[in-house]
């Protein structure tokens, strides 16, 4: 059970208005954490806050260095940072425009760099903590069709995660990455429904996992809860695959 596993911890979750981020906010709050939910979608944050009044919500762009710095300056302390926000850029090398490439880098890589860097003083002053980064099995682990920019950025996330883990282990800061395969998030559902044959597309995405289905946001949130808790205190620099066997 998740009850009380994060009692007394202050946790920040990005991409909190929907999908995995939203489910993680719910899980962290249920586990006793004080959660700061971050997203650009103020409407989605408002709905989340109505459901869980104990959380604090913050609507800003995590690719904006000044906004990220100001947010962290207002935190009294920090124990857990889950960098969950990201985008899926569709297309191969020949289809990838410079704008697509730069957007993927900005949202999937630069935002995590900014968030982690701004978190360091708070984590260090509190004696350490846990950083969790959202990566993917589509990265340095493996590839998928038409995911050139996405795979490149998620590979970068794994590289950043290992670097931070090594450099800051001595001051008690852990850094790990979660690597899912297909997850039934609202954005995934929107992409499927926009395809010419949504039923065939859903079957295709599900068949990529030997277990025969995509994951759920709640399943990924449970892993984030473990990495946020003291149960994982000896784990750092790891990338944890949770993919229904997709990359066996």
For residue 10, give both structure tokens.
């202050």
Q: Which residue has the higher pLDDT, 116 or 201?
A: 116
Question: For residue 198, what pLDDT is reported?
Answer: 84
Q: From the options 3.40.50.720, 3.30.1370.60, 3.40.120.10, 3.80.10.10, give the CATH code of 10-180+216-238.
A: 3.40.50.720
Question: Residue 193 pLDDT more than 50?
Answer: yes
Question: Residue 190 pLDDT more than 50?
Answer: yes
- Indicate the domain borders of the chain: 10-180+216-238, 183-214
In tens, the pLDDT along 61-111 reads: 999 999 999 999 999 999 999 999 999 999 999 999 999 999 999 999 999
Give the rounded distance of the alpha carbon of 160 from its chain centre: 14
Question: For residue 2, what pLDDT is reported?
Answer: 55
Q: Residue 59: which residues within 8 A CB-CB, separation 6 or more?
A: 38, 39, 40, 41, 42, 45
Question: Residue 3 pLDDT more than 80?
Answer: no
d(CA 62, CA 74): 15
Catalytic site includes residue 226: no
Which strand (E) or helix (H) includes residue 129? strand 129-134
d(CA 152, CA 155): 5
51-85: b or e for each residue (b if 16 or more CB lie within 10 Å)? ebeebebbbebbbeeebbeebbeeeeebbbbbbbb
Q: Which of 150, 168, 226, 234 is catalytic?
A: 150
Q: Nearest Cα to 147, choosing from 70, 218, 205?
A: 205
Question: For residue 197, what pLDDT is reported?
Answer: 87
pTM: 0.94
DSSP state of 147: B
């Amino acid at each position: 059970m998740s009850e009380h596993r994060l009692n007394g911890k202050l946790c920040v979750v990005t991409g909190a208005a929907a999908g995995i981020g939203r489910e993680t906010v719910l899980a962290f709050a249920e586990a006793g954490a004080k959660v700061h939910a971050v997203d650009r979608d103020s409407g989605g944050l408002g709905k989340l806050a109505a459901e869980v009044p104990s959380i604090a919500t913050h609507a800003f762009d995590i690719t904006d260095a000044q906004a990220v710095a100001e947010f962290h300056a207002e935190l009294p302390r920090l124990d857990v940072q889950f960098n969950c926000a990201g985008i899926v850029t569709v297309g191969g090398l020949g289809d990838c425009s410079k704008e697509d490439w730069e957007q993927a880098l900005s949202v999937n890589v630069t935002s995590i760099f900014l968030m982690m860097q701004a978190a360091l003083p708070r984590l260090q002053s509190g004696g350490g903590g846990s950083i969790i980064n959202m990566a993917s099995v589509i990265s340095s682990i493996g590839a998928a069709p038409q995911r050139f920019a996405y795979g490149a950025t998620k590979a970068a996330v794994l590289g950043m995660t290992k670097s931070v883990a090594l450099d800051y282990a001595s001051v008690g800061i852990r850094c790990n990455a979660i690597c899912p395969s297909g997850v039934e998030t609202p954005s995934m559902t929107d992409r499927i429904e926009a395809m010419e044959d949504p039923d065939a597309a859903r079957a295709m995405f599900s068949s990529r996992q030997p277990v025969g289905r995509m994951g759920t946001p709640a399943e990924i949130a449970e892993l984030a809860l473990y990495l946020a808790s003291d149960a994982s205190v000896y784990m750092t620099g790891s990338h944890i695959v949770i993919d229904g066997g997709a990359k066996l």
